[in-house]
Amino acid sequence: MKVKNEHEYNNDYEYIGKPERNVNGVEKVTGAAKFCSDIERSRMLYGKVKRSPYPHARIISIDTSKAKVLPGVKVVIVGDEETAPLRFGAGVADEYVLARGKVLYVGDAVAAVAAETEEIAEAAVDLIEVEYEELTPVFDGDEAFSQNPPAILHEDLKNYTTIRSVPPRYADKRPNVFNYFRIRRDYDKNAFKDADIVLENRFEVAMIHHVQMEPHCGVAEIDGTGRLTVTGTTSKPYGMHRDISESRRMPSSTVRVIVPTHVGGSFGGREPKAEQIAASLALAQKGFPKRPVKMWLTREEQLMTSTTRARYIVEIKTGAKKDGTLVANEMTTILVGGAYAGTGYLTARNGSFGPAANYKIPHFKLDAYGVYTNQRMAGAFRGFGNAETLWGMECNMDMIAEKLNIDPLEFRLMNCTDEGDLNAFQEKMHSVGAKECLQAAARDIEWGKKPESPKEPYLKMGKGIALGNKYSLVPTASACFVKVHPDGRVELRTSTVELGQGSNTIFSQMISEEFKIPVSKVRVLNPDTDCTPFDLGTASSRSTFNMGNAIRKACADAKKQLFEIAAKELDVSVDLLVTAQSRVFVKDDPEKSLDISELFIPMVIGGYTLKEGGEILGKATYYLPGVMPDPETGKSSRPASFYMFVAQAAEVEVDIQTGKIKVTKMVTANDCGKAMNPIMVEGQQDGGVLSMGIGSALLEEVIVDNGVMLNPQFADYKIPTTLDCPDCDNYKSAIIETAHREGPWGAKGVGEGTMVSSAPAIANAIYDAIGIRFHEIPITPEKVLAALKEKEKSGRATFGGNHDKRLSDMENK
């Protein structure tokens, strides 16, 4: 079943697997690409939001009278029955478009204005007076998790609407828990009895931001019939469609959602709040015609108020035998969420999947929680919880390896899952490239070879490695239409969002492969709920696999229609026909063929028609329901679509005088099933490892004081620059192809798996360099210096992450 085709651009296919140029590339490099933020309409109004200055407060009154009379102000809205009748949310409907009753974080939207210019809207926002009664907030994850938390954010949580397909589970005694998930595999009090060594540790990760280069934006327009069209930067057009229509009790077909061909990145963080507020402002206009409203967050607003990757607490207890065999694993994880659950409800649950599938562990226990705190929403972020949980697991693995005196690479190779192994869900694993990834990463970092020591005695070098994996979710569905035009070109109608990952390019290659036409003859429409059918969303690295399968099925349907018409014209049986280069051929008689255009009848006045059927339009759905895990044990024969494995290794140089850490070498090996386009796969690897992996490990943290973000500018919130990444020769990416039996041409996915092992690989390298085990990220120069000082003073070689604290102390608290 395995196809190993590492870095191999040539294969048996004509179009897939090739390094095709990005089909939207010319637009992007010439400035022709139009993003949502570039949209201008005649008579457009600009929206601005009045935000809460308090992390937790009751709204006593809102006075909008001064704002309303400011010249140029057209709409002022507050959270009331008209603007925000119902709560919405990805899994738990816990958020109003504008706050009602209480504000729950600094930045929570309480009112909004639409005006002739941004400046007027901003001035009007300042004129809105809100009286609050401050309430006690909760920020700390342990405190929020407790049975008697200092604040309960959603007193009425149990009565909120929740999603039926993957319903959240609350924790009876812990009122701030918005989701609880558990796994129990052959687990009882004897689980660790065969272990020669048991190591228990606590790890944490800081809150970080996605920093999509295009800030969130929405444009809402209402036509003469009252129909609402919202164009936005969302990665889930149908999710946003549901949020907009259901929270306003609007019949779903009265709402249309469009996403432009160009969206400036997502990485999981495109919760559609700007779009929602634009919609409310547009709908609140009285009279006709209604004017378009654009809501565009400033960079500061985006950094301060939009979705983050949550602070995470990971406690892990792992037992192993002397020979290195893993025996048992026990984990508790807490996603320290925000005021609204958002996609965090699912992140909290699905962060369990990485640890569940990484290693063969016969006894496994896991409890995963998501908790509310008085901060902005924390939700999906590249890796969906697994970079956070694996951060704990992969540091702990190195610590055990050291105690057992086994090489960390060997330790992983002997325990990692392989084809046919059972994971913690007791699912039989298929398409597992763990070993190959580890071997490739070890090869590229020259594992076992000591790094060259610099002349300067204050520079310490070290190497580290880590293994990870990322599942893709179930239940899942993608639908698409494939239209064959009279000119022989083929058009794809899909709601997958081109966020930069290259989906338009690889989908074009897939269609090229199916129709044997050049990529230049394929066109991919941008998502538009009026003409592109349902897709679950551009998330979970699911597009290549799910939409790819839908595309293949829809191409088969379109070709069937095409061949049925051609068969009549050529007077042969349908199954003898094939298509290539916009012609239909008889298989064994290539002389007998027709141009696709010849199947259409040119009509008087203009246009072409078919005798029946309307047009050649292939339709298909790829639906994978999976099997919901048992609520008590997590047992499931299909909890995920597939698993992408990844191994990463780092070499670091630590300056013990300044604390500065330089990643001198970084390598990644990713098992994507089958690369549809190696340039696009490498692009995902590069960004995941170099920007987000290094950023999250060493640089990035949303610093919060009493709920206020202290660093909402790029001067203070540091994402990696060209100078923070290793030189081109010191970075290597390997593509491992372990075909999946259900994937299109064996493909799985890549994007989300690209940073799940970066931080532990770097931290393990830092330990190798200076002998200090960091229990939290980011590992900043300040922390390195503090840790070195502490080590010198007390000999203590562990630092941060509240590593002395235990959630088990909270059992009855």
Partner 1 sequence: MERMSLTVNGETIETQINPGTTLQKFLHDTLGLTGTKEGCGEGLCGCCTVRVDGKAVKSCIILALQVNGKSVQTIEGLAKGETLDPVQEAFLDHGAFQCGYCTPGMIMTSRSFLDENPAPSEKEIRYALSGNLCRCTGYHKIVKAVLSVDPKKEIVAK
- Interface residues toward partner 1, by CB under 8 A: 19, 21-22, 24-35, 37-38, 40, 210-215, 262-265, 267, 298-299, 499-502, 679-680, 682-683, 686-692, 694, 713-715, 719-723, 725, 727-728, 731
Smallest gap from Cβ 627 to partner 1, in A, equals 35
> 688 or 801: whose CB is closer to partner 1?
688
Structure tokens at 66: 């001064």
> 79 vs 264, which CB is nearer to partner 1?
264
Amino acid making up residue 238: Y
Sign of CA dihedral 708, 714, 719, 723: negative
Residue 27 or 63 having the CB closest to partner 1? 27
- Nearest distance from C-beta of residue 501 to partner 1, angstroms: 7
3-class state of residue 785 by DSSP: helix
SS3 646: strand
For 85-140, the DSSP string reads -S-B-SSB--B-SS--SEE-STT-EEEEEEESSHHHHHHHHHH-EEEEEE------
| Shortest CB 694 distance to partner 1, Å | 8
Helix (H) or strand (E) holding 578: strand 577-580
Find the shortest distance in angstroms from Cβ 281 to partner 1: 20
Least Å distance, CB 698 to partner 1, is 14
Q: Could you tell me the smallest distance in angstroms from the CB atom of residue 696 to partner 1?
A: 12
CB closer to partner 1, 111 vs 765: 765
- The candidate with the shortest Cα–Cα distance to 531, out of 303, 229, 219, 280, is 229
Nearer to partner 1, 727 or 804 (CB): 727
Supply the minimum distance, in Å, between the C-beta of residue 211 and partner 1: 5
Closest CA to 267 of 693, 563, 595, 666: 693
Q: For residue 578, how far is the Cα from the chain centroid?
A: 39
Tell me whether residue 370 or residue 720 sits nearer to partner 1 (CB atom): 720
Q: How far is the CB of 108 from partner 1 (least distance, A)?
A: 23
CA distance 788 to 780: 12
The answer to whether residues 115 and 284 touch, using CB atoms and an 8 Å cutoff, is no
Q: Looking at this protein, which amino acid is placed at residue 520?
A: S
Q: Smaller CB distance to partner 1: residue 29 or 601? A: 29
Phi, psi of 152 (to 5 degrees): -110, 120
- Cβ closer to partner 1: 462 or 687? 687
In the complex, minimum distance from the CB of residue 126 to partner 1, in angstroms, rounded to a whole number: 18
Stated as kind and residue range, the H or E segment containing 483 is: strand 476-484
Residue 154 vs 294, nearer CB to partner 1: 294
Residue 793 CB, nearest distance to partner 1 (Å)?
A: 37
User: What DSSP state is assigned to residue 215?
Assistant: P
83 contacts 280 by C-beta, under 8 angstroms: yes
The distance of closest approach from Cβ of residue 122 to partner 1 in the complex, given in angstroms and rounded to an integer, is 13
**Closer CB to partner 1, residue 423 or residue 544?**
544
Q: Which is nearer to partner 1, 382 or 521 (CB)?
A: 382
For the sheet containing 476-484, what is the strand order? 522-525, 490-494, 476-484, 616-624
Q: Which is nearer to partner 1, 212 or 512 (CB)?
A: 212
- Compute the chain's Rg from CA coordinates: 27
Minimum CB–partner distance for residue 302 and partner 1 (Å): 9
If the CB atoms of residues 637 and 721 are measured against partner 1, the closer one turns out to be 721
Q: What is the DSSP letter of 272?
A: S
CB of 36 closer than 8 Å to CB of 237: no
Shortest spacing between CB 728 and partner 1, in angstroms:
6
Shortest spacing between CB 387 and partner 1, in angstroms: 15
Q: Distance between CA atoms of 518 and 508, rounded to whole angstroms?
A: 9
Query: SS3 sequence, 40-62?
Result: CCCCCEEEEEEECCCCCEEEEEE
- Give me 434's structure tokens: 């763990």
Nearer to partner 1, 108 or 653 (CB): 653
Residue type, 776: E
Cβ closest to partner 1, residue 33 vs residue 250: 33
Taking a C-beta distance cutoff of 8 angstroms, is the pair 313, 368 a contact? no
Between CA 536 and CA 544 the distance in angstroms is: 13
Q: Give the three-state DSSP class for 49.
A: strand
Maximum distance among all Cα pairs of the chain, rounded to whole angstroms: 92
Which amino acid is located at 26 in the chain? V
| Distance in Å, CB of 97 to partner 1, minimum | 25
| Complex with partner 1: residue 488 or 720, whichever CB lies closer | 720
CA dist list (Å): 37 to 209, 474, 532: 20, 33, 22
Q: What angle do CA 522, 525, 531 make, to 5 degrees?
A: 130
Nearest distance in Å: CB 695, partner 1: 9
In the bound complex, what is the minimum distance in angstroms from residue 531's beta carbon to partner 1? Answer: 23
Helix (H) or strand (E) holding 759: helix 758-770
Residues 6+ away with beta carbon under 8 Å from 619:
479, 480, 481, 482, 533, 554, 557
- From the CB of 691, what's the least distance to partner 1, in Å? 4
Mark out the alpha helices in 596-636 (DSSP H runs). none
For 324, phi and psi rounded to 5 degrees? Answer: 100, 0
Alpha-carbon gap, residue 779 to 761, rounded angstroms: 13
Q: Describe the strand order of the beta sheet including 177-185 as a list of residue ranges.
A: 177-185, 363-371, 326-336, 311-320, 197-205, 776-777
Report d(CA 544, CA 547) in Å as an integer.
6
Token couple for 740: 């999946």
Looking at the Cβ atoms of 155 and 727, the one nearer to partner 1 is 727
Contacts of 520 (CB under 8 A, 6+ apart): none
Q: Which two tokens stand for residue 335?
A: 């996603």
Q: For partner 1, give the closer residue by CB, 500 or 618.
A: 500
